[in-house]
Chains A and B, each alone.
Chain A
Amino acid sequence: MSKKFWTTGAIAATVAAGVLLAGAALAQSGVSFKDPVGDDNGPGNYTYPTDGVYKRGSFDLTGFDVKVSGKKVEFDVTFNVTLEDPWRMGTGFSVQQVFIFIKTGDGGFKDSPPGLNLGFAEGNEWNKLVVLSPQAPGRVKTEVEAKVAPGEQSAVIIPTRVKGAGRTISATVDLDQLGAGDPSTWGYQVAIQSNEGFPEGKDLMTRKVNEYEGQHRFGGGTDSDCDPHVMDILAGNGNGTPDEAELQHQWLKYECNPDGTRKSGGAVKMVYKKK
Chain B
Amino acid sequence: MRFSRGFAIGLLAAAAALASVPAFAVDGQTMVITGEDYTKWLWGTQHTDGSVYNFTTIPNEGYGDNGQGTEIDLYLFSKPNKYVEVQGRLQSRFNQNQWTNYGGFGGRNPAFENNPQPCLGGDCGEFDPRSNEYIKIRGLTARFTPGFKWLDSATIGSTDLGMFDPFTIGKIRYIDRDNAKAILFQGSIFDRKLGYDFIRVSLPRLFAGPNFNTGDYTGQDGAYGLQLKLAPAPIFDVVGVVERVRDLEIDPTDRNFDNGTSVADRFKNDVYGVRFGIHPSSKVDVRGQYYHSSAESDPRFGVPTGFGTSGFSPTPAGKISDPAYKANVDLNDPFGIGLSFNLEYFNIGAQYESILSARRESDVLLTEGHDGAWVFPGPDNSAFGVFPGNPTRIGYGGFEGNAQQVATLSVDNEFTDFDEPMAETVIGWKGITVVPTWTVGKWDLAAELTHIDYNTNWQAWGFPNKAIDNSIYPNFESDAGIGSYRNAYAPFQDKKTDLYVLRGKTVIDAGKGVDLFGKVKYIKETDKRMNDARFLPYKPGDCPGGGVACHNSVNPYNGNGNSTSAIYGNPPVITVNGVTGYQWKPFDSLSDDDKDMNYKMFQVGTGYQLTGDLYTSLTFEYYDVDLKDGDTAFQAYQLHNMASGKSQKNKLILAAKYTLGGAEFGLNYEYNFGTFDPNFGGGFVTQFADDQISKDFGVPVGSPGFRGRFGGWNSLIKRDFTQNRLKAFMKVRF
Q: Which A residues have a C-beta under 8 Å from some C-beta of B?
A: 1-2, 4-5, 8-9, 12-13, 16, 19-20, 22-24, 26, 37-38, 47, 50-53, 56-57, 62, 72, 80-82, 88, 136-139, 141-142, 158, 160-161, 163, 165-168, 172, 198, 211-215, 219, 223
Contact = CB atoms under 8 A, between A and B. Distances in A.
B116 interface: no
Contacts of B449: 5, 8-9, 12
Contacts of A47: 192
Interface stretch (B158-166, B377-385, B529-537): B158-166
B362 to A, nearest CB: 8
B657 interface: yes
B512 A215 contact: no
A268 to B, nearest CB: 23
Nearest to A143: B662
B612 A82 contact: no
B173 to A, nearest CB: 12
B441 interface: yes
Contacts of A24: 337, 440
B515 interface: yes
Most chain A CB atoms below 10 A, which of B421, B443, B613: B613
B609 A160 contact: yes
A138 B614 contact: yes
B240 to A, nearest CB: 15
A211 B658 CA distance: 37
B574 interface: no
Contacts of B279: 56-57, 80
A215 B162 contact: yes
Contacts of A16: 339, 436, 438, 445, 447
Contact of B659 (A19, A136, A165, A198): A136
B333 interface: yes
Q: Which 10 A-B pairs have the closest CB atoms?
A: A23-B440, A138-B659, A138-B613, A51-B162, A212-B152, A38-B234, A50-B163, A165-B444, A9-B449, A139-B659
Given A37-B282, A52-B162, A160-B513, A5 B612 contact: no
Nearest to B335: A20
Interface of B: 34, 79, 82, 143, 145, 152-153, 159-160, 162-166, 171, 186, 192, 197, 231, 234, 237, 277, 279, 282, 285, 330, 332-333, 337-340, 342, 421, 432, 434, 436-441, 443-445, 447, 449, 451, 496, 498, 500, 502, 507, 509, 512-513, 515, 524, 609, 611-615, 657-662, 664, 733
A82 B332 contact: yes
Contact of A56 (B237, B432, B661): B237
Contact of A166 (B165, B171, B439, B611): B439
Nearest to A140: B659
Contacts of A172: 507, 513
Given A8-B449, A12-B500, A12-B502, A137 B282 contact: no
Given A22-B440, A82-B340, A161-B609, 11 more contacts: A9-B449, A12-B447, A56-B231, A136-B659, A136-B664, A137-B613, A138-B614, A141-B613, A141-B659, A161-B512, A223-B82
A52 B507 contact: no
Nearest to B614: A138
A12 B342 CA distance: 15
A50 B186 contact: yes
Contacts of B82: 211, 223
A15 to B, nearest CB: 9
Contact of A80 (B282, B421, B611, B733): B282
Nearest to B342: A82
A223 B509 CA distance: 45
B515 A165 contact: no
10 contacts: A9-B449, A12-B436, A51-B171, A52-B166, A136-B615, A136-B664, A138-B611, A139-B659, A142-B660, A167-B333
A213 B196 CA distance: 12
A87 B152 CA distance: 26
B340 A166 contact: yes
Contact of B658 (A9, A12, A138, A168): A138
B615 A214 contact: no
A23 B443 CA distance: 9
Contacts of A12: 436, 447, 449, 500, 502
A171 to B, nearest CB: 10
Contacts of B421: 88
Contact of B152 (A62, A219, A223): A219
A53 B658 CA distance: 27
Nearest to B145: A212
B513 A20 contact: no
Contacts of A50: 162-163, 186, 197
B447 A165 contact: no
B498 A211 contact: no
Contacts of B657: 136
Contact of B438 (A20, A57, A72, A215): A20
Contacts of B340: 82, 166-167
B515 A161 contact: yes
A165 B661 contact: no
Contact of A5 (B145, B234, B444, B451): B451
A23 B441 contact: yes
B441 A166 contact: no
A212 B153 contact: yes
A139 B664 contact: yes
Contacts of B339: 16, 20
Contacts of A138: 611-614, 658-660
Contact of A142 (B143, B153, B662): B662
Contacts of B438: 16, 19-20
A104 B234 CA distance: 36
Nearest to A26: B441
A22 B445 CA distance: 14
A166 B333 contact: yes
A243 B272 CA distance: 41
Contact of B612 (A141, A166, A223): A141
Contacts of A80: 279, 282
Contacts of B613: 136-138, 141
Given A82-B330, A136-B657, A138-B614, A20 B337 contact: yes
Contacts of B658: 138
Contacts of B342: 82
Most chain A CB atoms below 10 A, which of B234, B502, B662: B234
A130 to B, nearest CB: 15
B138 to A, nearest CB: 16
A166 B332 contact: yes
A168 B439 CA distance: 10
B436 A142 contact: no
Contacts of A62: 282
Contact of A20 (B164, B440, B512, B515): B440
Nearest to A81: B285
B365 to A, nearest CB: 13
A211 B143 CA distance: 13
A20 B338 contact: yes
Contacts of A88: 421
A37 B279 CA distance: 10
A214 B659 contact: no
A9 B434 contact: yes
Nearest to B187: A212
A167 B436 contact: no
A8 to B, nearest CB: 6
B131 to A, nearest CB: 29
A212 B338 CA distance: 38
A214 B664 contact: no
Contacts of B330: 82
